Amino acid sequence: MKIKLTYLLIVLMSFASCKARKNNGQNNSQSSYPETELQALVIEASTEKVLQNYDKAQELYLNILKIEPKAAVAHFELSEIYQIKQDANSSLTHAKDAVDLEPENEWYRSNLAGVYFKTNQFDAAGIEYKKLLDGDPNNTNYIFSLAEVYLYQGKLKETLPLYNRLEERMGISEELIMHKNKIHIQLGQPDSAVAEMYKLINSNPTEPRFYGILADLYTELGESQKALDTYQQILKIDPENGYVHLSLYEYYKYHGQKDKSKEELILAFKSQRVDAYTKSDVLSEYFINSERNEELKKFAYDLLEMLISVHPDEAIGYVIYSDYYNRDGEALKAIDMMEKALEIEPGDYSLQYQLMVALTSSSSFKELVVASENAIELFPNQPAFYYFNGIGNIQTKNYEKAIEILDLGKDLVFENNQLKGDFYQYLGDACNGAKQYDQSDYYYDQALSLNPNNAYVLNNYAYYLSIRKTKLDKAAEMGKKANSIYPNNATYMDTYGWVLYQQAKYIDAEVWLQKALDNGGDSSGEVLEHYGDVLFKLNKKEEAIEYWQEAKEIGGCSALIDQKIETKELIEE
């Protein structure tokens, strides 16, 4: 790497000036160290600093100071090195030493001022910048730095003259005008703030954005009519400016002129120049307000249609459209919009994830399998999509495929026991569906080892054991625990009741199955059939038959229900 010769020459010149002052009759002892070797040491230190070998450079500069304590350049360089190392105290110490040794050196004083500023010593920083400006009154960097110090000190009145000096030297600048504008507002000088904006407008009378800033200022100052007049001026300069219509929408909305505000918003939404994200922000505001207001809801959907019509290639429009459909219970339409968004941005992970959630919630499991397979191709290292694919395959009874994909996905999970446990629970479900019962039990045990209070696993594991009439004591324990975690869940009550039934504890089973019916289980054919079975065991045969008949009417019961009703006998698998 080549070292910049200019930098090394400056360092050597600084060192030479230090030597010259020492030899000009100042009361300092002469160094016995050869000057040429000392210069070589300075070059070596400076080279290491340029190469960013800061530890080595620091060591060399400290050695230089041992040989030549008056070497201001070494103090200056060490100050910069300590800044890089974030050692503020050491940086400040060396910055002060450099200035004490060479008070006329502009670089050293500028460095000292900067260190004071970075360490929030604004009074001291201001003193140093004033000294620098005394020596170089037209230096815009020093003017700006002193203004920045005053801003941090809250000296707004002192800041304005400095900004004016900058403006004299640099000309009209939007950044400066906006700084001055803000200060005038804070100082309670609205007329001056407005005057600054007119100065900016006069510098470029055809720039509509400047008029927009002025109109916003008038709005902030409560000058409604002037704001409106200014917006109208923008439309004369730039009739196709959709953002002005957006501002007019806000203006009329604020003044309660509903019809005019809607007219302006429609014009803004029809404009190609107003970006899709800005329009989506407006629709986000409408999201809550339009939920229970049919008039606003219709208008919001009209705006959504305009959004995707004007910006058909922007995914954000379809995303917010899907949010509206989800809110209004139109799950399938919401999914359709998400899919359209993904056609535009297939690599959007969060959108892919939202689609999986929506497909799962709407029980669109065939579609979930296809969508999650596509997502896995795009994100092969993201376990979430393997998880959703596993769920889809379980629900479509593709158990072997579910086992394969869930087994792959679980190995992608790191430091997330909750998600790892979820993989194990669905592996348990899949293996049970595939009649791999030992494996199913193994995975359920693994899931419970990670989350012993997973009521879903406790319930499913208990139920499948009861169906197989095995490990019934364990099943009863898990069923009881699931109900203690979620005490009003009809499904969990039914499971526990059915385990007790398999244990021939019919009286207890009847109690729990009755609880299930009382908590919503009376809409489940399976629960009604179970209750009929336990009544039959308790010699309440007529009642049992009535419940079997009701179960058949509702549906979702076993394949034996017709035989039970026909023979009026309990038939068990």
Q: DSSP label at 522?
A: G
- Taking a C-beta distance cutoff of 8 angstroms, is the pair 559, 525 a contact? no
**Does the pLDDT of residue 22 top 50, yes or no?**
no
Please report the pLDDT score of residue 220 as a whole number.
86
For 219-254, what is each residue's pLDDT tens digit? 889 898 999 999 999 999 998 899 999 989 989 998
Question: How big is the CA angle at 352 (ends 346 and 355), to the nearest 5 degrees?
Answer: 125
Please report the pLDDT score of residue 553 as a whole number.
95
Q: How many domains does the chain have?
A: 1
Residue 46: inside a domain: yes
Residue 452: inside a domain: no
Q: Of the spans 63-77, 173-187, 480-494, which averages the highest pLDDT?
A: 480-494
Cα-Cα-Cα-Cα torsion 20, 23, 24, 28, nearest 10 degrees, comes to 120
SS (H, E, C) 138-207: CCHHHHHHHHHHHHHHCCHHHHHHHHHHHHHHHCCCHHHHHHHHHHHHHCCCHHHHHHHHHHHHHHCCCC
Percent of the chain past pLDDT 70, that is, above it, reads 94
How many CB atoms are closer than 10 A to CB 121? 17
Residue 500: inside a domain: no
Q: How confident is the model at residue 572 (pLDDT cuts 50, 70, 90)?
A: confident
**Does the pLDDT of residue 294 top 90, yes or no?**
yes
Question: How big is the CA angle at 182 (ends 179 and 183), to the nearest 5 degrees?
Answer: 85
Please report the pLDDT score of residue 20 as a whole number.
44
Residue 475: inside a domain: no
- Could you give the CA distance from residue 120 to residue 122 in angstroms, rounded to a whole number? 5
**Does the pLDDT of residue 26 top 70, yes or no?**
no
For 390-406, what is each residue's pLDDT tens digit? 999 999 999 999 999 99
**Does the pLDDT of residue 304 top 60, yes or no?**
yes
Residue 4: inside a domain: yes
Q: How confident is the model at residue 187 (pLDDT cuts 50, 70, 90)?
A: very high
245-278 core/surface letters (b: 16 or more CB in 10 A; e: else): bbbbbbbbeeeeeeeebbebbbbbbebeebebee
Please report the pLDDT score of residue 14 as a whole number.
52
- Taking a C-beta distance cutoff of 8 angstroms, is the pair 427, 436 a contact? no
Q: How confident is the model at residue 40 (pLDDT cuts 50, 70, 90)?
A: confident
Q: Is the dihedral of CA 153, 157, 163, 165 positive or negative?
A: negative
**Does the pLDDT of residue 13 top 60, yes or no?**
no
For 424-462, what is each residue's pLDDT tens digit? 999 999 999 999 999 999 999 999 999 999 999 999 999
Residue 244: inside a domain: no
Q: Which domain holds residue 27?
A: 1-119
What is the average pLDDT across 158-182? 92
Residue 92: inside a domain: yes
Residue 38: inside a domain: yes
Please report the pLDDT score of residue 33 as a whole number.
57
Q: How far does the chain reach from its first CA to its final CA, in angstroms?
A: 84
CATH value at residue 86? 1.25.40.10
Please report the pLDDT score of residue 24 as a whole number.
43
Tracing tokens 């040794």 back to the chain, one arrives at 101
- Could you give the CA distance from residue 307 to residue 281 in angstroms, rounded to a whole number? 12
Please report the pLDDT score of residue 17 as a whole number.
52
The backbone torsions φ and ψ at residue 234, rounded to the nearest 5 degrees and listed phi first, read: -60, -40
Q: How confident is the model at residue 10 (pLDDT cuts 50, 70, 90)?
A: very low
